[in-house]
Amino acid sequence: MARKQSELKILLNGTLVPESRAKVSVFDHGLLYGDGVFEGIRAYNGKVFALDEHLERLFKSAKAIALEIPITRKKLAADVVRTCKANGLRDGYIRLVVTRGVGTLGLNPYLCKKPQVIIIAAAIQLYPKKCYVQGLKLVTVGTRRNAPEALHPRIKSLNYLNNVLAKIEAINAGVMEAIMLNNDGYVAEATGDNVFVVNGKTLVTPPVWCGALEGITRGVVMDLAARSGYSVKEDVLSRYDLYTADEVFLTGTAAEIIGVNELDKRKIGTGRPGRVTRALSEEFSAYASETGTPIA
Ligand code: PMP
Residues in the chain where the model's pLDDT stays below 50:
1-4
Residue 4 lies inside a defined structural domain of this protein: no
Residue 244 has what pLDDT? 98
**Pair 147, 270 in one domain:** yes
Mutating to test ligand 1, I would choose from 205, 213, 221 the residue with most ligand atoms within 8 A of its C-beta, which is: 213
Q: Which of 122, 137, 167 is where one domain is finished? A: 122
Residue 1 has what pLDDT? 47
Residue 95 lies inside a defined structural domain of this protein: yes
Q: Tell me which of 9, 47, 137, 156 is the catalytic residue.
A: 156
Ligand 1 centre distance from Cα of residue 74 (Å) = 23
Q: Which of 98, 122, 146 is where one domain is finished? A: 122
CA 281 to each of CA 192, 238, 240, 284, 287: distance values in angstroms, whole numbers, following the listed order: 18, 24, 25, 5, 10
Are the beta carbons of 1 and 91 closer than 8 angstroms? yes
Does residue 281's CB lie within 6 angstroms of at least one atom of ligand 1? no
Residue 161 lies inside a defined structural domain of this protein: yes
Residue 1 lies inside a defined structural domain of this protein: no
**Pair 97, 235 in one domain:** no
Residue 72 has what pLDDT? 98
**Pair 140, 113 in one domain:** no
Q: Which residues pair with 247 in a beta bridge?
A: 198
Residue 5 has what pLDDT? 52
Q: Residues with Cβ < 8 Å from 196, sequence gap 6 or more?
A: 203, 204, 205, 218, 221, 248, 249, 250, 251
Does residue 216's CB lie within 6 angstroms of at least one atom of ligand 1? yes
Global pTM reads 0.96
Size of the chain in residues:
296
Model pLDDT for residues 247-277, shown as the tens digit of each residue = 999 999 999 999 999 999 999 999 999 999 9
Percent of the residues in the chain that have a pLDDT greater than 70, as a whole number: 98
**Pair 271, 190 in one domain:** yes
Q: Which of 122, 149, 181 is where one domain is finished? A: 122
Residue 16 lies inside a defined structural domain of this protein: yes
**Pair 74, 215 in one domain:** no
**Pair 149, 261 in one domain:** yes
Does residue 211's CB lie within 6 angstroms of at least one atom of ligand 1? no
Query: What distance in Å separates the CA atoms of residue 268 and residue 279, rounded to the nearest whole number?
Result: 17
Q: Residues with Cβ < 8 Å from 75, sequence gap 6 or more?
A: none
**Pair 90, 164 in one domain:** no
CA 144 to each of CA 51, 147, 188: distance values in angstroms, whole numbers, following the listed order: 30, 8, 9
Terminal Cα distance for the chain, rounded:
15
Does residue 251's CB lie within 6 angstroms of at least one atom of ligand 1? yes
Domain residues for the domain of 33 are: 9-122
Count of domains forming the chain: 2
**Pair 98, 232 in one domain:** no
**Pair 114, 149 in one domain:** no
Residue 295 lies inside a defined structural domain of this protein: no
